[in-house]
Amino acid sequence: MIPSPEAHGSMSWVLVNTLQNPAFISGIGCGILVSWLWMKFGKKEKEEGTLTDTKAKLTVPEEVSGYDEGEYKMILVVRNDLKMGKGKVAAQCAHAAVDAVRRCSSANPHILECWQDCGQPKIVVKTDSEEDLKHLATDARRRGLVAAIITDAGRTQVAPNTKTVLAVGPGLADEVDKVTGHLRLY
């Protein structure tokens, strides 16, 4: 408990004690550090339309003029025929989502930012074969969407080089649905 200023003759005693308190100094230091980190690594403005990876350019459908408007999502398509365990499916979906975000960040950062701004929705659906997975990926790429197929190393539940999950998007929900809308939830 801090004594009243009258007990020590002035308010300066309270100020000096507060400034010498290690908790106060630590709090100020943490605040400065967090501010500096936010300024250095925080969300940076991106130039609209900048594509840094010329091999992976995505196209925006002609009928979509202002692609800020609308909902965005990512669909993760799991091969149900492999009968992977829940943990394996979760890991493969995580790999697919990370790869799709990486591809989208270089191919079309504006779509990625729109998807992030609307909460990064992800939906997991299922298909029954590797052939279906490849067909869906081809259709997605033809429509200008990111399509990331994960090939497993085969150390646990599936054979080496098994294609396990496809990520479609992030992209406009209407466009993603044209590729995956017929699939059932996993």
- Write phi, then psi, for 74 (nearest 5 degrees): -125, 140
pTM of the entire structure? 0.65
3-state secondary structure the chain: CCCCHHHHCCCHHHHHHHHHCHHHHHHHHHHHHHHHHHHHHCCCCCCCCCCCCHHHCCCCCCCCCCCCCCCEEEEEEEEHHHCCCHHHHHHHHHHHHHHHHHHHHHHCHHHHHHHHHCCCCEEEEEECCHHHHHHHHHHHHHCCCCEEEEEECCCCCCCCCEEEEEEEEEEEHHHHHHHHCCCEEC
pLDDT in tens, 7-57: 555 656 666 666 677 776 676 766 677 776 667 666 554 433 333 333 344
Contacts of 108 (CB under 8 A, 6+ apart): 51, 57, 58, 60
Backbone φ/ψ region at 49: left (φ over 0), alpha (ψ -120 to 50), beta: left
Q: Is the pLDDT of residue 66 over 80?
A: no
The pLDDT value recorded for residue 181 is: 97
Among 52, 49, 55, 57, residue whose Cα is nearest residue 145: 57
The pLDDT value recorded for residue 55 is: 38
